[in-house]
């Protein structure tokens, strides 16, 4: 076992200090050291996207980063979207559109959608599909997810509001 290294991140707006062996995956660090269990993984090859978080404003597969690579960065996880018991508009759009069933891929799917809308607030259906190409789902067939993201984009345009990534 290698000596642990210090890791300092900002998670959902709050600073966190911890340590990790160099080989520890970021997803395991978020779950077991930071203690946020909303992120998970469903493959070993960076395909499924269930581990997706937002890192320094961009979507990132936390299974493909080492914890030590996150040192000094800002992370947003699924727990960082809802504010004080109210769902974020994107999360509410997912519920309205029935864009989740078993929920296992949902944390990653929502974070990918969140990152997509941050860089492209008015995506076409095709751009949405492309934006979530890295998130595999076996329950929904994806069309309800596309509809949820469209609805969230429309609501944001109409209401002028939106979360920060």
Partner 1 sequence: MSSAERRTLVGQPVVRKEDPDILRGEARYTFDVELPEMLHVAVYRSPAAHARIRRVDLSRALELPGVVAGLTGEQVRQLGYVNPLSPFPFQSRDPFRRGNPTIKFFDHYCLAWDKVRFVGEPVAAVAAVDRYVAEDALDLVEVDLEPLPPVVDSAAAMEPQAERLYEDWDDNVMLTFRVSGGDVDAAFRQADVVVREEIHSGRFTGTPIETRAVAASYDAGVKTLSVWTTTQIGHAIGTLIENTIALPDLKVHVMFRRIGGGYGQKWAFYPEEILLPLLSILTHRPVKWVETRREHMTGTIHAREQTHHIEAAVRRDGAILGVKDRIVANIGAAYPTGGLASIVTTGMFVPGAYRIENYQGEVLGVVTNKTPYGAHRGFGKSEACFVIERLVDRIAARLDMEPVEVRRRNFIPPDAFPYRSVTGPRYDSGRYREALDKALELLDYDHWRKEQAELAARGRYVGIGTCLVIEPSSSTRMGSYNAGYYSVRMRMDPNGRVYVFPSGSDDGQGHATSISQLVGDELQVSFHDVMVVEGDSLACPYGSGSYSSRFSVVGTTAVTLAARTLREKATRIASVMLRHPPGGLEFSGGGVRVEGRPDRAVSLSEIARTAYFYPFQLPEGMDPGLEVLYHFRDPNIEFEADERGRVAMFSSFPYDAEAAVVEVEPDTGLLKIRKFVSVHDCGNMLNPLIVRGQHVGALAHGFGGALYEELPYTEDGQPMAASFKDYFLPTAMEIPELVLGHMETPNPFTPGGFKGAGETGAVGPPAVLANAVEDALRPLGVAVRRLPLTPQYLWSLIREARGADPGAAGQGDAACPTR
Please give the C-alpha separations between residue 101 and each of 93, 94, 116, 140, in angstroms, as whole numbers. 14, 10, 22, 7
CB of 104 to partner 1, least distance (A): 3
Q: Is the Cβ–Cβ distance between 39 and 107 less than 8 Å?
A: yes
Identify which of residues 72 and 87 has a Cβ nearer to partner 1 in the complex.
87
CB of 148 to partner 1, least distance (A): 11
Identify which of residues 142 and 163 has a Cβ nearer to partner 1 in the complex.
142
Identify which of residues 72 and 147 has a Cβ nearer to partner 1 in the complex.
147
- Pick from 159, 146, 17: nearest CA to 88: 159
Strand order from edge to edge, sheet including 58-61: 14-20, 5-11, 74-76, 52-55, 58-61
> What count of other Cβ atoms lies within 10 Å of the Cβ of residue 124?
11
Identify which of residues 70 and 146 has a Cβ nearer to partner 1 in the complex.
146
Under DSSP, the state recorded for 56 is: T
In angstroms, the CA 144 to CA 118 distance is 20
CB of 131 to partner 1, least distance (A): 8
> What is the contact surface with partner 1 in residues (CB under 8 A)?
1, 21, 23-24, 28, 36-40, 42-45, 47-48, 50, 77-79, 81-82, 87, 91, 94-96, 98, 100-107, 110, 128-130, 132-146
CB of 97 to partner 1, least distance (A): 9
CB of 163 to partner 1, least distance (A): 13
In angstroms, the CA 61 to CA 49 distance is 6
Identify which of residues 72 and 124 has a Cβ nearer to partner 1 in the complex.
124
């Amino acid at each position: 076992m290698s000596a642990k290294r210090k890791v300092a991140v900002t998670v959902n707006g709050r600073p966190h200090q911890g340590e990790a062996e160099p080989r520890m995956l970021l997803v395991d660090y978020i779950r077991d050291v930071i203690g946020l269990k909303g992120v998970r993984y469903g493959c070993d090859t960076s395909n499924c996207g269930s581990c997706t978080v937002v890192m320094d404003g961009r979507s990132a597969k936390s299974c493909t980063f080492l914890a030590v690579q996150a040192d000094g960065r800002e992370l947003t996880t699924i727990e960082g979207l809802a504010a004080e018991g109210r769902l974020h508009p994107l999360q509410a759009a997912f519920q309205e559109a029935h864009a989740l069933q078993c929920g296992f891929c949902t944390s990653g799917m929502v974070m990918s959608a969140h990152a997509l809308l941050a860089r492209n607030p008015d995506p076409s259906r095709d751009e949405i599909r492309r934006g979530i190409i890295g998130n595999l789902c076996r329950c929904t067939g994806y069309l309800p997810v596309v509809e949820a993201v469209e609805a969230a984009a429309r609501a944001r345009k109409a209401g002028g509001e939106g979360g920060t990534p």
